[in-house]
């Protein structure tokens, strides 16, 4: 995956090794069957500009990848030229000014480690190897983003190569249309981002984790409690529940109540997670760990070794849910009962979005986030379970408020990911900035599959 130490090459579809290079860009080990005509492994901005010209000259569309973590493998498209940005992964931190400039190929974990060493913080993605490029463009649900904002809310500017090959800077004042569009258009953005300018935070003094585990038979009681208590949980805590067939400690089907917490002191953090220690369902728990200090680096690496395994075919889907959990409880039980083997898992996340955010393309979020990640490691499981996530999400559509582009599955199940007003505005900006439709758009959108 991370090949940034090797000099990037340009390969055509007919050349030996082409398929391996294409599939090697993707975290998801599934082969989507689609193939671009060229891959350009960019070493610098000049390679990006010449790739754009090559695509134009060959009448091809442009696909882009940075970390290759799109579950849907959005970047692997037919009739296109793929620009692989993983080698543009520089990280420059300006600690006194609390700013950084990063390449889109930089990994969440690498950025976090550099910042931790200087007592600084950015709400990076939860797994180490996620590319910051795709993560930031779709919004960026980072560590404790309820407190620090979405990843993209901490971006102050971007350097972008446009469809005409021009390199421009975009921020709130300069090329403001591009800045607005980049904040949430995700896999439908119409330009190649070559650098992000970030605003950093002081690192919270305490970072830790509270964990409680229940057997799956308690699903209804635990989710009813979580749903009720969620709105009052402080934004210091990222309150979530994972359905796991190999739940921590019990190594069987269970619910992991996970509460990463960031606070000014251990005492404050303990108060923040007291809702778990004193909950009405606590006596049903098979296991409750005390609040333990834990580095983000450790949590990110643990996630990749337990839930987010590589060399796995992934089929993910997701939705925002606005109402209370009761009407969907029978379906949640069906999701658990039909859950494929680990590392497949379901995530229930307490979000309770803020009332207002700055004006940007990102515009759909809600009370609760539900995502299903079918992670299949042998052919029989793939045949049996590849539709697990999509089918359950389809059945829940009447309760849904839309989706996150982070875990999008729009090629198989088109769904609302921005408001209709913002979709229209994105289309208008695209028509001006990419009049010939050089860049691939989303694989599916609410008004039609593309
Ligand atoms: C294990 C794992 C953990 C994850 N954890 C989180 C999480 O905690 N929070 C969260 O919000 N999301 C998370 N995601 C989802 C992830 O953020 C998105 O899939 C994101 O798109 C990944 O970025 P990437 O650069 O690695 O992916 P890529 O597949 O490289 O990019 C996705 C799409 O973004 C566009 N893009 C990428 N780079 C550029 C660029 N330089 N210029 C223009 N367009 C570009 C392209 O359209 C591309 O197809 C996770 C995904 C995985 C697989």
Report CA(330)–ligand 1 centroid distance (Å). 32
CA distance 273 to 293: 13
Starting at the edge strand that comes first in sequence, how are the strands of the sheet with 167-170 ordered? 91-94, 99-102, 192-199, 155-161, 167-170
| 91-203+422-434: in CATH 3.30.565.10 | no
Report CA(187)–ligand 1 centroid distance (Å). 8
Q: How many CB atoms lie within 10 A of CB 261?
A: 28
pLDDT above 50: residue 450: no
Q: How many CB atoms lie within 10 A of CB 135?
A: 28
Please name the residue whose Cα sits nearest to atom 7 of ligand 1.
Answer: 125
Residues 389-435 have pLDDT tens digits of 999 999 999 999 899 999 999 999 999 999 999 999 999 999 999 99
Please name the residue whose Cα sits nearest to atom 28 of ligand 1.
Answer: 68
- Model confidence band, residue 171 (pLDDT cutoffs 50, 70, 90): very high
Question: What kind and span of H or E run contains 432?
Answer: helix 420-433
Please name the residue whose Cα sits nearest to atom 51 of ligand 1.
Answer: 69
Question: What kind and span of H or E run contains 219?
Answer: helix 219-229
Mean pLDDT across 156-179: 98
Domain map of the chain by residue range? 10-84, 91-203+422-434, 206-402
Report CA(186)–ligand 1 centroid distance (Å). 8
Classified by CATH at the fold level, domain 10-84 comes out as 3.30.43
* Ligand 1: nearest atom to the Cα of 137: 34
Q: Which two tokens stand for residue 188?
A: 């439908």
Classified by CATH at the fold level, domain 206-402 comes out as Vanillyl-alcohol Oxidase; Chain A, domain 3 (3.40.462)
Report CA(324)–ligand 1 centroid distance (Å). 30
* Ligand 1: nearest atom to the Cα of 27: 53
Residues 54-67 have pLDDT tens digits of 999 999 999 999 99
* Ligand 1: nearest atom to the Cα of 308: 1
CA distance 177 to 345: 38
**Nearest Cα residue to 192 out of 22, 26, 64, 74:** 64
Are residues 149 and 82 in contact, defined by beta-carbon separation less than 8 angstroms? no
Strand segments (E) across 200-272: 201-202, 206-215, 240-244, 254-263
**Nearest Cα residue to 426 out of 180, 253, 258:** 180
pLDDT above 60: residue 2: no
pLDDT above 90: residue 131: yes
The pLDDT of residue 405: 98
Q: Between β-strands 80-84 and 61-65, what pairing exists: parallel, antiparallel or unpaired?
A: parallel
Which residues does ligand 1 sit against, CB inside 6 Å? 27, 64-71, 74-75, 85, 104, 125-127, 130-131, 133-135, 137-138, 140-141, 186-187, 189, 192-193, 308, 406-407
Report CA(53)–ligand 1 centroid distance (Å). 25
Q: Between β-strands 287-288 and 80-84, what pairing exists: parallel, antiparallel or unpaired?
A: unpaired
Residue-wise over 198-208: b if at least 16 C-beta within 10 A, else e? Answer: bbbbebbebbb
Alpha-carbon distances, residue 68 vs 1, 126, 141 (angstroms) = 8, 15, 17
Tokens 């921590």 correspond to what residue? Answer: 248
Mean pLDDT across 163-191: 98
Report CA(132)–ligand 1 centroid distance (Å). 7
Q: Which two tokens stand for residue 197?
A: 């300018």
Question: What are the phi and psi torsion angles at 160 (to 5°)?
Answer: -130, 135
Q: Mean pLDDT for the chain?
A: 96
Residues 176-188 have pLDDT tens digits of 999 999 999 999 9
pTM: 0.97
Q: Between β-strands 155-161 and 167-170, what pairing exists: parallel, antiparallel or unpaired?
A: antiparallel
Please name the residue whose Cα sits nearest to atom 41 of ligand 1.
Answer: 193
**Radius of gyration, CA atoms only, the chain:** 21
Question: What are the phi and psi torsion angles at 95 (to 5°)?
Answer: -60, -45
């Amino acid at each position: 995956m991370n090949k940034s130490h090797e000099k990037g090459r340009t390969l055509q579809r007919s050349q030996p090794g082409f398929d391996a290079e294409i599939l090697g860009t993707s975290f998801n080990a599934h082969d989507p069957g689609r193939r671009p005509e060229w891959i350009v492994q960019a070493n610098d901005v000049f390679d990006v500009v010449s790739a754009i010209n090559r695509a134009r000259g060959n009448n091809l569309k442009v696909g882009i990848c940075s970390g290759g973590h799109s579950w849907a493998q959005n970047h692997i498209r037919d009739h296109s030229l793929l620009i692989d940005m993983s080698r543009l992964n520089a990280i420059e931190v300006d600690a006194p000014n609390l700013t950084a400039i990063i390449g889109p190929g930089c990994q969440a974990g690498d950025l976090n480690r550099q910042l931790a060493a200087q007592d600084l913080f950015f709400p990076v993605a939860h797994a180490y190897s996620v590319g910051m490029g795709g993560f930031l463009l779709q919004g960026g649900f980072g560590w404790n983003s309820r407190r620090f904002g979405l990843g993209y809310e901490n971006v102050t500017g971007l350097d972008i190569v446009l469809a005409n090959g021009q390199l421009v800077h975009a921020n709130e004042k300069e090329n403001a249309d591009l800045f607005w569009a980049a904040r949430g258009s995700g896999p439908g953005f119409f330009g190649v981002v070559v650098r992000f300018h970030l605003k950093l935070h002081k690192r919270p003094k305490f970072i830790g984790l509270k964990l409680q585990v229940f057997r799956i038979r308690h699903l209804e009681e635990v989710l009813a409690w979580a749903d009720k208590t969620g709105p009052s949980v402080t934004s210091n805590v990222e309150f979530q529940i994972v359905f796991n067939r190999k739940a921590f400690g019990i190594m069987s089907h269970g619910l992991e109540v996970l509460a990463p917490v960031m606070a000014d002191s251990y005492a404050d953090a303990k108060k923040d997670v007291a809702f778990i220690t004193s909950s009405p369902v606590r006596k049903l728990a098979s296991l409750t760990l005390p609040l333990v200090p834990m580095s983000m680096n450790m949590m990110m690496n643990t996630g990749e070794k337990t839930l987010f395994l590589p060399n796995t075919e992934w089929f993910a889907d997701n939705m925002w849910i606005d109402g209370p959990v009761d009407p969907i409880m029978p379906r949640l039980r069906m999701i658990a009962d039909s859950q494929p083997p680990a590392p497949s898992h379901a995530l229930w996340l307490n979000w309770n979005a803020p009332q207002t955010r700055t004006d940007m393309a990102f515009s759909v979020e809600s009370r609760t986030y539900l995502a299903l990640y079918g992670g299949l490691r042998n052919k029989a499981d793939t045949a049996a379970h590849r539709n697990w996530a999509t089918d359950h999400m389809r059945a829940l559509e009447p309760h849904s408020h839309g989706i996150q582009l982070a875990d999008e599955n729009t090629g198989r199940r088109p769904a609302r990911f921005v408001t209709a007003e913002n979709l229209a505005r994105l289309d208008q900006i695209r028509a001006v900035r990419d009049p010939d439709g050089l860049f691939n758009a989303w694989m599916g959108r609410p008004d039609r599959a593309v």
